[in-house]
Amino acid sequence: MLGRLLKKALKRSRPKNSTQTRTDAPIEIRMTLQESIQTLTHIMGNSTDFMVRKISGREDLPEIAICYIEGLVDTNLLNRILESWLTVTLEADQMPGIESLLNKILPAGPISKLHTTQSIISAVLDGKAVILADGMKEAFSASIESLEKRSIEEPSSQTVIRGPKDGFTEDISTNLSLIRRRLRTSSLRVQSMVIGSYTNTKVIMAYIEGIADESVVSEIRARLQSIETDSVLESGYIEEFIQDNTLSPFPTLINTERPDAVAGGLLEGQVVILVDGTPFVLLAPVTFFRFLHSSEDYYQRYDLSTFLRGVRFFSFVISLLLPSLYIAISTFHQEMIPTTLLISLAAQREGTPLPALMEAFMMEITFEIIREAGVRMPRVIGPAISIVGALVLGQAAVQAGLVSGAMVIVVSFTAIANFAIPAFSMAAAIRIIRFVLMLLAGTFGLYGILAGIIPIYAHLVSLTSFGVPYLSPVTPLRFADLRDLFVRLPWPFLKTRPQDMNRRNMVRQGMNRPQQGKK
Protein backbone atom coordinates (compact mmCIF):
# COMPACT_ATOMS: atom_id res chain seq x y z
CA MET A 1 0.00 0.00 0.00
CA LEU A 2 2.82 2.40 0.91
CA GLY A 3 4.59 1.65 -2.39
CA ARG A 4 1.43 2.49 -4.38
CA LEU A 5 0.99 5.78 -2.52
CA LEU A 6 4.62 6.71 -3.20
CA LYS A 7 4.22 5.94 -6.90
CA LYS A 8 1.08 8.11 -7.09
CA ALA A 9 2.87 10.93 -5.29
CA LEU A 10 5.80 10.74 -7.66
CA LYS A 11 3.50 10.84 -10.68
CA ARG A 12 1.74 13.93 -9.30
CA SER A 13 5.06 15.65 -8.55
CA ARG A 14 6.51 15.15 -12.03
CA PRO A 15 6.50 18.34 -14.09
CA LYS A 16 4.42 18.19 -17.22
CA ASN A 17 6.37 18.75 -20.42
CA SER A 18 4.25 20.61 -22.94
CA THR A 19 6.57 19.63 -25.77
CA GLN A 20 6.24 15.93 -24.99
CA THR A 21 2.46 16.24 -24.77
CA ARG A 22 2.15 17.97 -28.09
CA THR A 23 4.33 15.52 -30.00
CA ASP A 24 2.52 12.52 -28.52
CA ALA A 25 -0.85 13.66 -29.86
CA PRO A 26 -1.60 13.14 -33.58
CA ILE A 27 -2.03 16.86 -34.45
CA GLU A 28 -2.93 17.58 -38.05
CA ILE A 29 -0.69 19.85 -40.11
CA ARG A 30 -1.96 23.40 -40.42
CA MET A 31 -3.01 24.92 -43.71
CA THR A 32 -0.73 27.98 -43.47
CA LEU A 33 2.96 27.35 -44.04
CA GLN A 34 4.05 29.97 -41.54
CA GLU A 35 1.85 28.50 -38.81
CA SER A 36 3.24 25.01 -39.48
CA ILE A 37 6.80 26.31 -39.17
CA GLN A 38 6.00 28.10 -35.93
CA THR A 39 4.41 24.96 -34.49
CA LEU A 40 7.40 22.78 -35.34
CA THR A 41 9.88 25.36 -34.05
CA HIS A 42 7.98 25.59 -30.77
CA ILE A 43 7.92 21.80 -30.36
CA MET A 44 11.68 21.64 -30.98
CA GLY A 45 12.17 24.31 -28.31
CA ASN A 46 13.73 26.85 -30.69
CA SER A 47 16.79 24.61 -30.98
CA THR A 48 19.60 26.19 -32.94
CA ASP A 49 20.30 23.02 -34.90
CA PHE A 50 16.70 22.76 -36.14
CA MET A 51 16.94 24.42 -39.54
CA VAL A 52 14.10 25.72 -41.73
CA ARG A 53 14.90 26.88 -45.25
CA LYS A 54 12.06 28.63 -47.10
CA ILE A 55 11.89 28.88 -50.87
CA SER A 56 9.66 31.54 -52.30
CA GLY A 57 7.01 30.36 -54.68
CA ARG A 58 6.85 30.94 -58.40
CA GLU A 59 3.86 31.49 -60.59
CA ASP A 60 3.64 27.77 -61.32
CA LEU A 61 4.95 26.44 -57.95
CA PRO A 62 3.86 27.11 -54.35
CA GLU A 63 6.09 28.32 -51.53
CA ILE A 64 7.83 25.47 -49.67
CA ALA A 65 9.96 25.05 -46.55
CA ILE A 66 12.54 22.32 -45.85
CA CYS A 67 13.00 21.33 -42.20
CA TYR A 68 15.96 19.28 -40.99
CA ILE A 69 18.49 18.83 -38.19
CA GLU A 70 21.89 20.28 -38.95
CA GLY A 71 24.52 17.54 -38.99
CA LEU A 72 22.08 14.68 -39.57
CA VAL A 73 21.48 15.29 -43.28
CA ASP A 74 23.80 15.30 -46.24
CA THR A 75 24.22 18.96 -47.17
CA ASN A 76 25.25 18.12 -50.75
CA LEU A 77 22.00 16.25 -51.38
CA LEU A 78 20.06 19.03 -49.68
CA ASN A 79 21.59 21.67 -51.94
CA ARG A 80 20.80 19.53 -54.97
CA ILE A 81 17.14 19.41 -53.90
CA LEU A 82 17.04 23.20 -53.57
CA GLU A 83 18.72 23.77 -56.92
CA SER A 84 16.44 21.27 -58.64
CA TRP A 85 13.35 22.91 -57.16
CA LEU A 86 14.43 26.36 -58.37
CA THR A 87 15.26 25.15 -61.88
CA VAL A 88 12.54 22.56 -62.45
CA THR A 89 10.42 23.14 -65.49
CA LEU A 90 6.88 22.02 -66.06
CA GLU A 91 5.44 20.83 -69.30
CA ALA A 92 2.46 22.61 -70.78
CA ASP A 93 -0.04 19.92 -69.84
CA GLN A 94 1.49 19.04 -66.44
CA MET A 95 -0.21 20.06 -63.21
CA PRO A 96 2.08 21.37 -60.46
CA GLY A 97 1.65 18.36 -58.13
CA ILE A 98 4.04 18.49 -55.19
CA GLU A 99 4.51 14.73 -54.91
CA SER A 100 5.22 14.24 -58.61
CA LEU A 101 7.70 17.13 -58.60
CA LEU A 102 9.53 15.76 -55.58
CA ASN A 103 9.79 12.33 -57.15
CA LYS A 104 11.25 14.05 -60.20
CA ILE A 105 13.90 16.15 -58.48
CA LEU A 106 14.91 14.07 -55.47
CA PRO A 107 18.36 12.50 -55.90
CA ALA A 108 17.76 9.99 -53.12
CA GLY A 109 15.20 7.27 -52.48
CA PRO A 110 11.41 7.53 -52.59
CA ILE A 111 9.52 10.09 -50.55
CA SER A 112 6.98 9.41 -47.81
CA LYS A 113 3.82 11.28 -46.91
CA LEU A 114 3.44 12.63 -43.38
CA HIS A 115 0.06 13.57 -41.94
CA THR A 116 0.76 14.45 -38.29
CA THR A 117 3.12 16.67 -36.35
CA GLN A 118 4.43 13.64 -34.49
CA SER A 119 5.43 11.93 -37.74
CA ILE A 120 7.20 15.09 -38.92
CA ILE A 121 9.23 15.38 -35.72
CA SER A 122 10.13 11.68 -35.87
CA ALA A 123 11.27 11.99 -39.48
CA VAL A 124 13.39 15.06 -38.73
CA LEU A 125 15.03 13.36 -35.73
CA ASP A 126 15.77 10.31 -37.91
CA GLY A 127 17.88 12.49 -40.18
CA LYS A 128 15.36 13.04 -42.96
CA ALA A 129 14.46 16.32 -44.64
CA VAL A 130 10.78 17.25 -44.40
CA ILE A 131 9.23 19.40 -47.14
CA LEU A 132 6.22 21.55 -46.26
CA ALA A 133 4.22 23.30 -48.98
CA ASP A 134 1.89 26.22 -48.56
CA GLY A 135 -1.74 25.16 -48.77
CA MET A 136 -1.02 21.43 -48.31
CA LYS A 137 -2.40 19.35 -45.43
CA GLU A 138 0.39 16.81 -45.71
CA ALA A 139 4.19 16.95 -45.65
CA PHE A 140 6.81 14.87 -47.45
CA SER A 141 10.04 13.35 -46.10
CA ALA A 142 13.17 12.69 -48.14
CA SER A 143 15.85 10.21 -47.05
CA ILE A 144 19.03 12.24 -47.28
CA GLU A 145 20.69 11.13 -44.05
CA SER A 146 24.35 11.84 -43.62
CA LEU A 147 26.45 8.78 -44.50
CA GLU A 148 29.27 9.56 -42.05
CA LYS A 149 29.97 6.43 -40.01
CA ARG A 150 32.85 4.28 -38.87
CA SER A 151 34.25 1.95 -41.47
CA ILE A 152 34.20 -1.82 -41.03
CA GLU A 153 37.25 -2.86 -39.02
CA GLU A 154 38.57 -5.94 -37.23
CA PRO A 155 36.83 -6.55 -33.87
CA SER A 156 38.96 -5.29 -31.00
CA SER A 157 37.56 -7.55 -28.28
CA GLN A 158 37.35 -10.89 -30.15
CA THR A 159 40.36 -11.39 -32.38
CA VAL A 160 41.10 -14.64 -34.22
CA ILE A 161 44.06 -16.02 -36.12
CA ARG A 162 42.04 -17.77 -38.81
CA GLY A 163 38.67 -16.45 -39.85
CA PRO A 164 36.95 -13.29 -41.10
CA LYS A 165 38.44 -9.99 -39.97
CA ASP A 166 35.37 -7.78 -40.35
CA GLY A 167 33.37 -6.61 -37.35
CA PHE A 168 30.15 -4.82 -36.57
CA THR A 169 29.97 -1.02 -36.44
CA GLU A 170 27.68 1.46 -34.71
CA ASP A 171 25.37 1.64 -37.75
CA ILE A 172 22.56 -0.88 -37.51
CA SER A 173 21.97 -0.98 -41.29
CA THR A 174 25.62 -1.88 -41.87
CA ASN A 175 25.44 -4.59 -39.24
CA LEU A 176 22.33 -6.10 -40.80
CA SER A 177 23.99 -6.08 -44.22
CA LEU A 178 27.00 -7.96 -42.81
CA ILE A 179 24.63 -10.69 -41.63
CA ARG A 180 22.76 -10.74 -44.95
CA ARG A 181 26.03 -11.25 -46.85
CA ARG A 182 26.62 -14.48 -44.95
CA LEU A 183 23.04 -15.75 -44.92
CA ARG A 184 21.69 -15.43 -48.44
CA THR A 185 18.34 -16.96 -47.65
CA SER A 186 14.78 -15.71 -47.76
CA SER A 187 14.11 -17.50 -44.46
CA LEU A 188 15.95 -14.82 -42.49
CA ARG A 189 13.25 -12.83 -40.72
CA VAL A 190 13.96 -9.27 -39.58
CA GLN A 191 11.62 -7.34 -37.28
CA SER A 192 12.37 -3.80 -36.14
CA MET A 193 11.01 -1.74 -33.27
CA VAL A 194 11.76 1.53 -31.51
CA ILE A 195 12.59 1.55 -27.78
CA GLY A 196 13.20 4.60 -25.59
CA SER A 197 10.86 7.57 -25.26
CA TYR A 198 13.69 10.08 -25.66
CA THR A 199 16.36 8.21 -27.64
CA ASN A 200 13.91 6.38 -29.97
CA THR A 201 16.57 3.75 -30.52
CA LYS A 202 16.02 1.34 -33.38
CA VAL A 203 16.21 -2.30 -32.29
CA ILE A 204 16.13 -5.24 -34.71
CA MET A 205 15.30 -8.85 -33.88
CA ALA A 206 16.41 -11.40 -36.48
CA TYR A 207 16.05 -15.18 -36.73
CA ILE A 208 15.80 -17.92 -39.35
CA GLU A 209 12.27 -19.18 -39.80
CA GLY A 210 12.14 -22.96 -39.69
CA ILE A 211 15.23 -23.23 -37.48
CA ALA A 212 14.57 -20.94 -34.50
CA ASP A 213 12.08 -22.13 -31.89
CA GLU A 214 8.87 -20.13 -32.31
CA SER A 215 8.21 -20.09 -28.56
CA VAL A 216 11.63 -18.54 -27.94
CA VAL A 217 11.06 -15.99 -30.70
CA SER A 218 7.68 -15.03 -29.24
CA GLU A 219 9.13 -14.73 -25.74
CA ILE A 220 11.99 -12.49 -26.85
CA ARG A 221 9.62 -10.33 -28.91
CA ALA A 222 7.26 -9.97 -25.94
CA ARG A 223 10.08 -8.97 -23.59
CA LEU A 224 11.41 -6.40 -26.04
CA GLN A 225 7.98 -4.88 -26.55
CA SER A 226 7.40 -4.69 -22.79
CA ILE A 227 10.43 -2.45 -22.20
CA GLU A 228 9.39 0.99 -21.00
CA THR A 229 12.35 3.32 -20.57
CA ASP A 230 13.41 6.76 -21.65
CA SER A 231 16.73 5.77 -23.20
CA VAL A 232 18.61 2.88 -24.79
CA LEU A 233 22.21 3.88 -25.47
CA GLU A 234 23.81 0.43 -25.80
CA SER A 235 22.82 -3.21 -26.07
CA GLY A 236 23.65 -3.64 -22.37
CA TYR A 237 20.39 -1.81 -21.58
CA ILE A 238 18.41 -4.40 -23.54
CA GLU A 239 20.36 -7.27 -22.01
CA GLU A 240 19.48 -6.31 -18.45
CA PHE A 241 15.83 -5.70 -19.32
CA ILE A 242 15.15 -9.05 -20.98
CA GLN A 243 17.48 -11.53 -19.28
CA ASP A 244 15.93 -14.24 -17.10
CA ASN A 245 17.74 -13.49 -13.84
CA THR A 246 18.93 -9.91 -13.54
CA LEU A 247 20.64 -10.43 -10.17
CA SER A 248 22.71 -13.41 -11.27
CA PRO A 249 26.43 -12.76 -11.91
CA PHE A 250 26.34 -15.21 -14.81
CA PRO A 251 25.22 -13.75 -18.16
CA THR A 252 22.29 -15.40 -19.91
CA LEU A 253 22.85 -13.54 -23.21
CA ILE A 254 26.09 -13.42 -25.12
CA ASN A 255 27.35 -10.32 -26.93
CA THR A 256 29.70 -10.36 -29.89
CA GLU A 257 31.28 -8.05 -32.45
CA ARG A 258 31.74 -10.80 -35.03
CA PRO A 259 29.23 -11.23 -37.90
CA ASP A 260 30.40 -14.82 -38.48
CA ALA A 261 29.58 -15.72 -34.87
CA VAL A 262 26.11 -14.21 -35.30
CA ALA A 263 25.55 -16.12 -38.55
CA GLY A 264 26.63 -19.35 -36.84
CA GLY A 265 24.25 -18.69 -33.96
CA LEU A 266 21.34 -18.05 -36.33
CA LEU A 267 22.03 -21.34 -38.11
CA GLU A 268 21.86 -23.15 -34.77
CA GLY A 269 18.51 -21.62 -33.81
CA GLN A 270 19.50 -18.56 -31.83
CA VAL A 271 17.79 -15.16 -32.06
CA VAL A 272 19.82 -12.02 -32.75
CA ILE A 273 19.15 -8.58 -31.26
CA LEU A 274 20.81 -5.60 -32.94
CA VAL A 275 20.77 -2.14 -31.32
CA ASP A 276 21.52 1.02 -33.25
CA GLY A 277 24.60 2.86 -31.99
CA THR A 278 26.66 -0.09 -30.75
CA PRO A 279 28.80 -2.76 -32.43
CA PHE A 280 27.87 -5.38 -29.82
CA VAL A 281 25.07 -7.71 -30.94
CA LEU A 282 23.15 -9.95 -28.53
CA LEU A 283 22.50 -13.67 -29.06
CA ALA A 284 19.86 -15.65 -27.19
CA PRO A 285 19.21 -18.20 -25.88
CA VAL A 286 22.65 -19.26 -24.72
CA THR A 287 24.10 -21.95 -22.47
CA PHE A 288 27.03 -21.81 -20.08
CA PHE A 289 29.41 -23.73 -22.33
CA ARG A 290 28.91 -21.33 -25.27
CA PHE A 291 30.90 -18.71 -23.36
CA LEU A 292 33.95 -20.97 -23.52
CA HIS A 293 33.65 -21.61 -27.26
CA SER A 294 35.13 -19.46 -29.99
CA SER A 295 34.08 -19.02 -33.60
CA GLU A 296 37.64 -19.96 -34.54
CA ASP A 297 36.98 -23.50 -33.27
CA TYR A 298 35.06 -24.19 -36.49
CA TYR A 299 37.71 -22.78 -38.84
CA GLN A 300 40.67 -24.86 -37.66
CA ARG A 301 41.20 -28.60 -37.60
CA TYR A 302 39.11 -30.51 -35.10
CA ASP A 303 42.11 -31.79 -33.11
CA LEU A 304 43.55 -28.31 -32.58
CA SER A 305 40.10 -26.92 -31.76
CA THR A 306 39.55 -29.67 -29.19
CA PHE A 307 42.93 -28.97 -27.59
CA LEU A 308 42.24 -25.23 -27.38
CA ARG A 309 38.84 -25.88 -25.84
CA GLY A 310 40.53 -28.00 -23.20
CA VAL A 311 42.92 -25.14 -22.51
CA ARG A 312 39.98 -22.75 -22.06
CA PHE A 313 38.12 -25.05 -19.68
CA PHE A 314 41.32 -25.57 -17.69
CA SER A 315 41.86 -21.79 -17.62
CA PHE A 316 38.31 -21.36 -16.35
CA VAL A 317 38.97 -23.70 -13.40
CA ILE A 318 42.33 -22.05 -12.65
CA SER A 319 40.85 -18.56 -12.76
CA LEU A 320 38.06 -19.56 -10.40
CA LEU A 321 39.83 -21.79 -7.85
CA LEU A 322 43.63 -21.31 -7.86
CA PRO A 323 43.90 -18.43 -5.33
CA SER A 324 41.34 -20.09 -3.06
CA LEU A 325 43.14 -23.43 -3.15
CA TYR A 326 46.48 -21.80 -2.37
CA ILE A 327 45.00 -19.89 0.57
CA ALA A 328 43.24 -22.97 1.98
CA ILE A 329 46.18 -25.35 1.61
CA SER A 330 48.85 -22.94 2.86
CA THR A 331 46.72 -21.88 5.86
CA PHE A 332 44.84 -25.01 7.01
CA HIS A 333 46.08 -28.04 5.07
CA GLN A 334 49.88 -27.87 5.00
CA GLU A 335 50.05 -31.67 5.16
CA MET A 336 48.87 -31.80 1.54
CA ILE A 337 52.00 -29.95 0.33
CA PRO A 338 55.17 -31.96 -0.45
CA THR A 339 57.87 -31.51 2.19
CA THR A 340 60.39 -29.78 -0.08
CA LEU A 341 57.82 -27.35 -1.41
CA LEU A 342 56.49 -26.74 2.10
CA ILE A 343 59.95 -25.79 3.34
CA SER A 344 60.38 -23.40 0.40
CA LEU A 345 57.02 -21.74 1.01
CA ALA A 346 57.71 -21.46 4.74
CA ALA A 347 61.03 -19.76 4.01
CA GLN A 348 59.31 -17.26 1.71
CA ARG A 349 56.64 -16.46 4.27
CA GLU A 350 59.04 -16.17 7.18
CA GLY A 351 59.25 -12.39 6.99
CA THR A 352 55.76 -11.77 5.61
CA PRO A 353 53.61 -9.88 8.15
CA LEU A 354 50.22 -10.62 6.57
CA PRO A 355 48.28 -13.90 6.41
CA ALA A 356 47.77 -15.60 3.06
CA LEU A 357 44.18 -14.30 2.75
CA MET A 358 45.23 -10.67 3.16
CA GLU A 359 48.12 -11.18 0.74
CA ALA A 360 45.82 -12.58 -1.92
CA PHE A 361 43.23 -9.84 -1.45
CA MET A 362 45.87 -7.13 -1.64
CA MET A 363 47.44 -8.56 -4.79
CA GLU A 364 44.12 -9.24 -6.51
CA ILE A 365 42.80 -5.74 -5.81
CA THR A 366 46.10 -4.24 -6.95
CA PHE A 367 45.91 -6.17 -10.20
CA GLU A 368 42.29 -5.10 -10.74
CA ILE A 369 43.32 -1.45 -10.27
CA ILE A 370 46.17 -1.86 -12.77
CA ARG A 371 43.85 -3.54 -15.25
CA GLU A 372 41.24 -0.79 -14.95
CA ALA A 373 43.90 1.91 -15.22
CA GLY A 374 45.27 0.29 -18.37
CA VAL A 375 41.81 0.38 -19.94
CA ARG A 376 41.09 4.02 -18.99
CA MET A 377 44.52 5.37 -19.87
CA PRO A 378 45.22 6.67 -23.40
CA ARG A 379 45.72 3.81 -25.82
CA VAL A 380 49.35 4.76 -26.50
CA ILE A 381 50.54 4.41 -22.90
CA GLY A 382 47.88 2.09 -21.46
CA PRO A 383 49.61 -1.26 -22.20
CA ALA A 384 52.96 0.10 -21.03
CA ILE A 385 51.46 1.25 -17.72
CA SER A 386 49.81 -2.14 -17.18
CA ILE A 387 52.91 -4.22 -17.87
CA VAL A 388 55.42 -1.98 -16.10
CA GLY A 389 53.09 -1.38 -13.17
CA ALA A 390 52.50 -5.10 -12.62
CA LEU A 391 56.21 -5.98 -12.85
CA VAL A 392 57.47 -3.11 -10.73
CA LEU A 393 54.83 -3.40 -8.02
CA GLY A 394 55.11 -7.18 -7.82
CA GLN A 395 58.89 -7.15 -7.56
CA ALA A 396 58.86 -4.27 -5.09
CA ALA A 397 56.25 -5.99 -2.91
CA VAL A 398 58.34 -9.18 -2.73
CA GLN A 399 61.56 -7.31 -1.93
CA ALA A 400 59.78 -5.26 0.74
CA GLY A 401 58.50 -8.44 2.38
CA LEU A 402 54.84 -7.54 2.04
CA VAL A 403 53.94 -10.63 0.00
CA SER A 404 55.65 -13.89 -0.85
CA GLY A 405 56.95 -14.78 -4.29
CA ALA A 406 54.60 -17.75 -4.51
CA MET A 407 51.59 -15.47 -4.04
CA VAL A 408 52.75 -13.25 -6.89
CA ILE A 409 53.01 -16.32 -9.13
CA VAL A 410 49.53 -17.52 -8.15
CA VAL A 411 47.87 -14.16 -8.75
CA SER A 412 49.69 -13.63 -12.06
CA PHE A 413 48.81 -17.08 -13.38
CA THR A 414 45.19 -16.57 -12.30
CA ALA A 415 45.01 -13.27 -14.19
CA ILE A 416 46.51 -14.80 -17.34
CA ALA A 417 44.06 -17.72 -17.15
CA ASN A 418 41.18 -15.24 -16.87
CA PHE A 419 42.24 -13.60 -20.13
CA ALA A 420 41.97 -16.97 -21.90
CA ILE A 421 38.17 -17.00 -21.46
CA PRO A 422 36.74 -15.79 -24.82
CA ALA A 423 33.64 -14.02 -23.45
CA PHE A 424 34.40 -10.93 -21.37
CA SER A 425 31.06 -11.10 -19.55
CA MET A 426 31.82 -14.60 -18.25
CA ALA A 427 35.39 -13.63 -17.34
CA ALA A 428 34.04 -10.68 -15.33
CA ALA A 429 31.62 -12.98 -13.48
CA ILE A 430 34.50 -15.28 -12.52
CA ARG A 431 36.51 -12.32 -11.21
CA ILE A 432 33.69 -11.39 -8.85
CA ILE A 433 33.02 -14.93 -7.61
CA ARG A 434 36.74 -15.51 -7.04
CA PHE A 435 36.79 -12.98 -4.19
CA VAL A 436 33.93 -14.77 -2.43
CA LEU A 437 35.71 -18.14 -2.67
CA MET A 438 38.95 -16.59 -1.39
CA LEU A 439 37.14 -15.31 1.69
CA LEU A 440 35.57 -18.72 2.34
CA ALA A 441 38.92 -20.46 1.82
CA GLY A 442 40.68 -18.14 4.28
CA THR A 443 37.96 -18.77 6.87
CA PHE A 444 37.14 -22.47 6.58
CA GLY A 445 39.80 -23.94 4.28
CA LEU A 446 38.82 -26.55 1.70
CA TYR A 447 35.47 -26.97 3.41
CA GLY A 448 34.77 -23.30 2.72
CA ILE A 449 35.61 -23.74 -0.98
CA LEU A 450 33.25 -26.71 -1.16
CA ALA A 451 30.57 -24.71 0.68
CA GLY A 452 30.90 -22.03 -2.00
CA ILE A 453 31.02 -24.32 -5.05
CA ILE A 454 27.85 -26.24 -4.15
CA PRO A 455 25.57 -23.13 -4.12
CA ILE A 456 27.21 -21.90 -7.31
CA TYR A 457 26.49 -25.18 -9.06
CA ALA A 458 22.94 -25.24 -7.71
CA HIS A 459 22.45 -21.70 -9.01
CA LEU A 460 23.77 -22.68 -12.45
CA VAL A 461 21.41 -25.65 -12.58
CA SER A 462 18.44 -23.40 -11.76
CA LEU A 463 19.28 -20.80 -14.41
CA THR A 464 17.56 -20.74 -17.78
CA SER A 465 17.99 -18.62 -20.87
CA PHE A 466 14.56 -18.08 -22.43
CA GLY A 467 13.47 -21.54 -21.37
CA VAL A 468 16.74 -23.32 -22.27
CA PRO A 469 18.56 -24.93 -19.28
CA TYR A 470 21.79 -23.06 -18.62
CA LEU A 471 23.93 -26.20 -18.21
CA SER A 472 22.48 -28.00 -21.22
CA PRO A 473 23.46 -30.50 -22.66
CA VAL A 474 25.10 -31.73 -19.43
CA THR A 475 22.03 -31.07 -17.30
CA PRO A 476 19.76 -32.42 -18.74
CA LEU A 477 22.11 -34.85 -20.42
CA ARG A 478 21.97 -35.10 -24.22
CA PHE A 479 24.63 -37.37 -25.64
CA ALA A 480 24.14 -36.17 -29.21
CA ASP A 481 25.17 -32.61 -28.30
CA LEU A 482 28.34 -33.74 -26.50
CA ARG A 483 30.01 -34.02 -29.91
CA ASP A 484 30.43 -30.25 -29.92
CA LEU A 485 30.84 -29.43 -26.24
CA PHE A 486 34.16 -30.28 -24.57
CA VAL A 487 35.49 -31.62 -27.85
CA ARG A 488 34.79 -30.71 -31.44
CA LEU A 489 34.36 -33.65 -33.77
CA PRO A 490 35.09 -33.23 -37.51
CA TRP A 491 32.36 -31.57 -39.55
CA PRO A 492 31.16 -34.80 -41.24
CA PHE A 493 30.10 -36.05 -37.78
CA LEU A 494 28.17 -32.90 -36.85
CA LYS A 495 25.08 -33.70 -38.88
CA THR A 496 22.51 -32.26 -36.48
CA ARG A 497 21.99 -28.95 -34.76
CA PRO A 498 22.05 -28.60 -30.96
CA GLN A 499 18.83 -29.88 -29.45
CA ASP A 500 18.78 -27.21 -26.74
CA MET A 501 18.44 -24.46 -29.38
CA ASN A 502 16.33 -26.21 -32.00
CA ARG A 503 13.88 -29.07 -32.10
CA ARG A 504 12.22 -28.42 -35.44
CA ASN A 505 14.89 -28.57 -38.13
CA MET A 506 17.59 -30.75 -36.63
CA VAL A 507 19.43 -32.02 -39.71
CA ARG A 508 21.95 -29.63 -41.25
CA GLN A 509 23.98 -31.98 -43.45
CA GLY A 510 23.06 -34.42 -46.18
CA MET A 511 19.56 -33.09 -46.89
CA ASN A 512 20.27 -31.91 -50.45
CA ARG A 513 22.91 -34.47 -51.31
CA PRO A 514 21.98 -36.47 -54.46
CA GLN A 515 21.66 -40.20 -54.01
CA GLN A 516 24.50 -42.14 -55.58
CA GLY A 517 23.79 -44.89 -58.09
CA LYS A 518 20.62 -43.22 -59.44
CA LYS A 519 20.32 -41.14 -62.57
Percent of the chain topping pLDDT 90: 44
Q: What is the pLDDT of residue 388?
A: 67
Averaged pLDDT, 493-507:
81
For the chain, how many residues are written?
519
Report residue 94's pLDDT band, with 50, 70 and 90 as the boundaries: very low
Q: Does residue 10 register a pLDDT over 90? A: no
Higher pLDDT, 502 or 255: 255
Nearest to 408 by CA among 448, 466, 366: 366
Q: Does residue 517 register a pLDDT over 50? A: no
Averaged pLDDT, 88-112:
59
Pick from 59-73, 318-332, 421-435: least confident: 59-73
Q: What is the pLDDT of residue 303?
A: 93
Distance CA 513, CA 369 (A): 56
Averaged pLDDT, 210-216:
91
Tell me: the pLDDT tens digits for 268-326? 999 999 999 999 999 999 999 999 999 999 999 999 999 999 999 999 999 999 999 99
Alpha carbon distances (Å) from 438 to 332, 433, 447:
13, 9, 12
Distance CA 233, CA 396 (A): 43
Nearest to 343 by CA among 334, 332, 352: 334
Question: Most confidently modeled of 19-33, 100-114, 164-178, 345-359?
Answer: 164-178
Q: Does residue 95 register a pLDDT over 50? A: no
Find out whether 440 and 324 touch, Cβ atoms under 8 Å.
yes
Q: What is the pLDDT of residue 76?
A: 81
Nearest to 408 by CA among 394, 393, 419, 387: 394
Averaged pLDDT, 486-494:
90
Report residue 139's pLDDT band, with 50, 70 and 90 as the boundaries: confident
Residue 132 gets which letter from DSSP?
E
Report residue 35's pLDDT band, with 50, 70 and 90 as the boundaries: confident
Averaged pLDDT, 424-434:
94
Averaged pLDDT, 259-268:
94
Q: What SS3 state is found at 237?
A: helix
Q: Does residue 140 register a pLDDT over 90? A: no
Q: Does residue 208 register a pLDDT over 90? A: yes
Q: What is the pLDDT of residue 31?
A: 58
Q: What is the pLDDT of residue 378?
A: 74
Pick from 26-35, 55-64, 106-115, 189-198: least confident: 26-35
Q: Does residue 141 register a pLDDT over 70? A: yes
Alpha carbon distances (Å) from 236 to 10, 29, 277, 282, 303:
27, 38, 12, 9, 35
How many CB atoms are closer than 10 A to CB 135? 11
Higher pLDDT, 301 or 500: 301
Q: What is the pLDDT of residue 93?
A: 43
Q: What is the pLDDT of residue 506?
A: 81
Higher pLDDT, 177 or 109: 177
Q: Does residue 109 register a pLDDT over 80? A: no
Alpha carbon distances (Å) from 201 to 191, 243, 420, 422:
14, 19, 34, 29
pTM of the model: 0.83
Pick from 46-55, 143-152, 183-192: least confident: 143-152
Q: What is the pLDDT of residue 99?
A: 63
Q: Does residue 16 register a pLDDT over 70? A: no
Tell me: the pLDDT tens digits for 340-370? 888 888 888 777 888 889 989 988 998 888 8
What do you get for the CA distance between the two ends of the chain, in Å? 78
Q: What is the pLDDT of residue 14?
A: 40
Dihedral pair phi/psi, residue 151, rounded to 5°: -75, 165
Q: What SS3 state is found at 395?
A: helix
Mean pLDDT of the chain: 83
